Structure 1
Amino acid sequence: MAEGSSNFSVCVDNETYEDSTLLRVEGENVHGILLQIVQALSDLDLIISKATISADSGWFMNVFHVTDHHGHKLRDPNFIRYIQRSLDGDQEGNGSYDITQLKICRDNKVNVEQYFASDCIALEISCVDIPGIFSKITAVLFELSFMVDTGKVWTHNGCAACILYIKDRDTGRSISDRARLSCLLKNISTVVKAHHLPDKLWGVRLRHAAYRIHTERRLHQLMQEQMDYQVTPSPLQANEDLSMLAISVVE
């Protein structure tokens, strides 16, 4: 079974191995193509147990041994077509397969499984990793009658990033009051700004549940923006200030 594209083709093999499905992806070897493929498989919550990566004369062929999150082979033909079109970059023509039916870990996307029903809002924060800062942030949420449904926090090399899925503490429902959300952003930003360093980026942002977020990929982006890969901060000129405030509400 294969699906063509202008850049590469995808072939799904369920016959060769009993314990995994083979995905063979081949085509023009352009910059970033391997990352694009792996991210697409990660978005679908597929487990890659083995991979063979090869390239020659501007072309590549990558073979992935994959299973679903429960360790099973991929049998559903609609799901297979969806995988092919996802790898192909076709986000519109995914046939009759509803994205909410995918068996994806519920903490990967806002509007899959429980987040599709609860319509949580994602609070993104990137800041300096200082002891006690997240305690202060959760205290602000509590004081403003918000609750954290779930969330993830990453720290590395003195940098921290978190995505918290929040809703109203009293009703357990999503919050649509823009004045209340603006108040939340202002208060959280005040806490984060008070602990930032001149040579560090920081940001606070709200994203509505309708805006699709892959949690781990977004956390990686937030950490990369803070240059967490640098063991020591690069020297700054006297007039430079890399501090950043992002308090927009993403519709």
Structure 2
Amino acid sequence: EQVDSANKRGSLLEVVQVLTDLDLLIRRAYVSSDGEWFMDVFHVTDKNGNRVMEEDIAETIQQSLGPRTCSFRARNRSVGVQAISENTSIELTGRDRPGLLSDVFAVLTDNNCNVVAAEVWTHNSRMASVVYITDETTGSVIDDPDRIAKIKQLLLYVLEGNRDKRIANTAVLMGSTHKERRLHQMMYDNRDYDMTNLDVGSTSERRKPVITVENCTDKAYTVVNLRCIDRPKLFFDAVCTLTDMQYVVYHATV
């Protein structure tokens, strides 16, 4: 898959996000962007390692990049994109503890909420979660301000049962968000990278990622080298992290 498009901040993340949403694994990638244009080349397979034969990957990427001038060179392919039903999104961040998710779902159940879907991340004793709910009786979006305020406050009480109340937070949104992108932002805002005073288990030396950072003074770039065990969505996670840290990827080889 080759993508040529007018460049803007976040273009790389948008393209990688589309490939990730389509459950495609990025086996190899070449990223090049200078000035007002970028060209990215991705070698992808499905999650089983098979060659992708569907038709509309290019069209899906083009829609994600908006009306800007784009050109795509790829075989005719098509991948179904799951429609997202209307719901209310609840975002939660706080200190992780045993039984926390059970307590969160108990609050929602007691308030006649139907949990449509949920994604939970934990890292360095921090927790971030996006929960999609509807009204248990009508199956529709919950938009009553008083009811939303009550749910938020009850969930905040649950989160503040953790050791550190300062990092507990709840937010309620109408409609859908890109949950994995949002979870990256929530974890970053919650400083999950901060190891201070956290009881974190040791990582095997063999499995630790090797990361080096070098300044390329002649081209005014900083070069980041990452070597670690591969896994699905790793490139997406890396681009999200760099974006959240306010860095722009100009060139990359994966």
TM-score tier after normalising by the smaller chain length: 0.5 to 0.7
Tell me which of 123, 141, 150 is aligned to 1:183: 150
TM-score of the pair, normalised by structure 1: 0.61
Q: Which residue of 1 aligns with 2:67?
A: 90
CA distance in 2, matches of 1:57, 1:126: 37
Q: Which residue of 1 aligns with 2:2?
A: 23
CA change 1:86–1:69 in 2 (3 A) is farther
Q: Give matches, 1:1-251, under 5 Å.
A: 22-25=1-4, 34-43=12-21, 45=22, 47-53=24-30, 55=32, 61-66=39-44, 72-76=52-56, 80-87=58-65, 89-90=66-67, 103-104=80-81, 106=82, 112=83, 115-116=84-85, 119-195=86-162, 197=164, 200-209=166-175, 212-232=176-196
CA distance in 1, matches of 2:80, 2:34: 38
- Structure 2's unaligned 5+ residue stretches are 71-77, 199-254
CA distance in 2, matches of 1:55, 1:176: 44
TM-score of the pair, normalised by structure 2: 0.60
- Structure 1's unaligned 5+ residue stretches are 1-21, 94-100, 107-111, 235-251
Q: How many residues align?
A: 187
AA at the equivalent of 1:64: F
Q: Any conservation in 2 of the 1:125–1:202 contact (CA below 8 Å)?
A: yes
Bigger relative contact order, structure 1 or 2 (CA pairs below 8 A, ≥6 apart): 2
Tell me the C-alpha RMSD between the 2 structures: 3.4
Q: Any conservation in 1 of the 2:14–2:64 contact (CA below 8 Å)?
A: no
Q: Any conservation in 1 of the 2:92–2:130 contact (CA below 8 Å)?
A: yes
Displacement of 1:217: 1.1
